[in-house]
């Protein structure tokens, strides 16, 4: 498959055209096309969470030097930090970048690290949205691990979309849990250690709980709140807070 892409043309129509060409493609085909089009102007954003190993393994097979952006919020489970190092080493990923919140942002808006208790949107904005926005400045396109079976706003997720002037690839959009489990088993990928403790989706420790039997995959995230996304996947005007009023 040969795809043409003008780096200047980041319009919705261009994203729709790319989505039409890749919407039924295997995730590896999507990643290969993304790498071919963007090269070192492409990044993969990963939480190294419950389902992350599949996409990271495919990416490592396509280009082990791909930039992998990991949001270390300062409030992650210790198991996630250990898993991030062990999995990157195992897969041979050579360019994993740890993104942390800016000291000035924390000192000004969350000096006691208790903002999550009163304003989860603002906490996510400081610890996830702003660090990622800064890191993405050097890239023209990025890759996410989102899937439609997670529900909510993700149910109509395209394989390729336009977001804030960048092309955004969602290679696993079409895959269900059975597909992920089959791939992980075939390639003997190690699971995140918290999955065995009832965590099907894993974020920061203050806002993540185990899910109950029969719950949606992301039911343990911000449980009891009218919030389903941290904000990094919500389009916004430059300079405005993300996720006002309303994962990796």
- The neighbour count for residue 178, using CB atoms within 10 Å, is 9
Chain centroid to CA 83: how far?
Answer: 16
Query: For the range 114-117, what are the long-range contacts, defined as Cβ-Cβ under 8 Å and sequence gap of 24 or more?
Result: 116/75, 116/204, 116/206, 116/207, 117/206
How far, CA to CA in Å, does 52 sit from each of 10, 47, 49, 109, 207?
27, 7, 5, 30, 19
Residue from 123, 204, 207, 230 carrying the catalytic annotation: 230
Backbone angles phi, psi at 56, to 5 degrees: -65, -35
How many C-beta atoms lie closer than 10 Å to residue 59's C-beta? 25
Q: Known catalytic residue: 230?
A: yes
| 197 contacts: CB under 8 Å, gap ≥ 6 | 210
Helices within 94-241 (DSSP H only): 103-109, 115-118, 120-124, 130-135, 177-186
Which residue bears the tokens 């070192």?
Answer: 40
Active site residues: 230
């Amino acid at each position: 498959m040969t795809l043409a892409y003008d780096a200047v043309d980041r319009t919705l129509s261009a994203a729709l055209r790319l989505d039409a060409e890749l919407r039924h493609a295997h995730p590896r085909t999507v990643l290969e096309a993304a790498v071919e089009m963007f090269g070192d102007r492409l990044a993969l954003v990963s939480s190294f969470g419950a389902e992350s190993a599949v996409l990271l393994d495919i990416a490592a097979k396509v280009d082990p030097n791909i930039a992998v952006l990991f949001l270390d919020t300062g409030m992650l489970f210790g198991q996630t930090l250990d898993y991030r190092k062990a999995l990157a080493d195992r897969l041979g990923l050579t360019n994993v970048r740890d993104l942390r919140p800016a000291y000035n942002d924390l000192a000004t808006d969350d000096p006691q690290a208790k903002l999550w208790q009163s304003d989860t949107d603002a906490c996510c904005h400081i610890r996830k949205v702003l660090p990622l926005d800064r890191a993405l400045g050097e890239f023209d396109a990025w890759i996410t691990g989102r899937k439609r079976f997670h529900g909510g706003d993700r149910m109509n997720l395209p394989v390729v979309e336009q977001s804030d002037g960048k092309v955004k690839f969602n290679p696993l959009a079409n895959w269900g849990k059975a597909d992920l489990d089959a791939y992980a088993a075939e390639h003997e990928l190690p699971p995140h250690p918290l999955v065995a403790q009832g965590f099907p989706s894993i974020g920061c420790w203050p806002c993540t709980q185990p899910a109950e039997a029969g719950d949606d995959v992301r039911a343990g995230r911000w449980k009891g709140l009218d919030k389903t996304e941290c904000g990094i996947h919500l389009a916004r005007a430059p300079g405005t807070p993300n996720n006002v009023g309303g994962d990796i």
